[in-house]
Amino acid sequence: MHPRIAREKRIVDKMITIYCQKNNHRKKGKLCPDCKDLKAYAHKKLLHCPFAKDKPVCAKCKIHCYNTQRREQIKKVMRFAGPKMIYRHPIDTIIYFYHKLIHINYTPQ
């Protein structure tokens, strides 16, 4: 697995965990079934990303590989957890924004 994909997986895991925890979905330290399914779906899509080493952040990607329902779910998670990431995981957040900035005019081949 490419390090970029591993980093994206780590970040999405953290965001889903924050979302699930803060919305009282978690039971006994585990993700609720819906969040667990979303996490598995996100991992599957990241592992099959056609760009791998040249992968932009998903928000800047020209291909939207999530189906409509899952895309709305992950947007909801990211809108909720994104602002909290700077306090809970500042290094990951800075790295994310750095990669988002370097891909402003990037067009995947």
Quick check: 2 pLDDT over 60?
A: yes
For 47-65, how does the pLDDT look when each residue is reduced to its tens digit (9 = 90+)? 888 777 776 666 666 777 8
| Structure confidence at residue 44 as a pLDDT band (50, 70, 90) | very high
What pLDDT sits at residue 49? 80
Q: What interhelical angle do 3-22 and 90-102 show, nearest 10? A: 130
Phi-psi map region of 93: left, alpha, beta (phi>0 left; psi -120 to 50 alpha): alpha
